[in-house]
């Protein structure tokens, strides 16, 4: 087959180096607020949710993850301000890594627009 007859390269499916991370393609799971982290602790079902979406060299960005109990804009969003929350993220991250995926945490604090009705304190 001549070079002229080669199928075109699809940029979305080409590898990309992102800092220290080698991605096998450019399709990214965007952070989607799921509101299923009761008491702001990631739940076991999140292991399945994220691992089903992981691929070798694929990038997943976790849903918005609060940095303090006053950072919340929605109820039931995960956090990383307690040991319990951090420990709950570990099996999720491990499951994504087991499939060769790259996992980023979207940290957030909604600032002045925080809804005091969702604060734990």
Predicted confidence band of residue 1 (pLDDT cuts 50, 70, 90): low
What separation in angstroms does the CA of 15 have from each of 64, 97, 99, 103? Answer: 26, 18, 17, 17
Report residue 118's pLDDT band, with 50, 70 and 90 as the boundaries.
low
The full set of domain ranges for the chain reads: 28-110
**pLDDT digit string, tens, across residues 26-83:** 999 999 999 999 999 999 999 999 999 999 999 999 999 999 988 888 889 999 999 9
pTM assigned to the model: 0.86
């Amino acid at each position: 087959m001549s070079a002229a007859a080669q199928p075109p390269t699809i940029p979305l499916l080409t590898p990309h180096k992102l800092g220290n991370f080698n991605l096998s393609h450019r399709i990214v799971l965007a952070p989607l607020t799921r509101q299923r982290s009761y008491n702001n602790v990631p739940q076991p079902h999140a292991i399945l949710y994220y691992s089903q979406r992981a691929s070798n060299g694929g990038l997943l960005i976790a849903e918005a993850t609060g940095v303090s109990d006053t950072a919340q804009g929605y109820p039931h969003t995960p956090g990383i301000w307690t040991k319990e929350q951090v420990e709950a993220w570990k099996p999720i991250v491990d499951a994504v890594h087991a499939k060769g995926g790259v996992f980023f945490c979207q940290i957030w604090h909604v600032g002045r627009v925080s809804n005091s009705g969702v604060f734990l304190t």
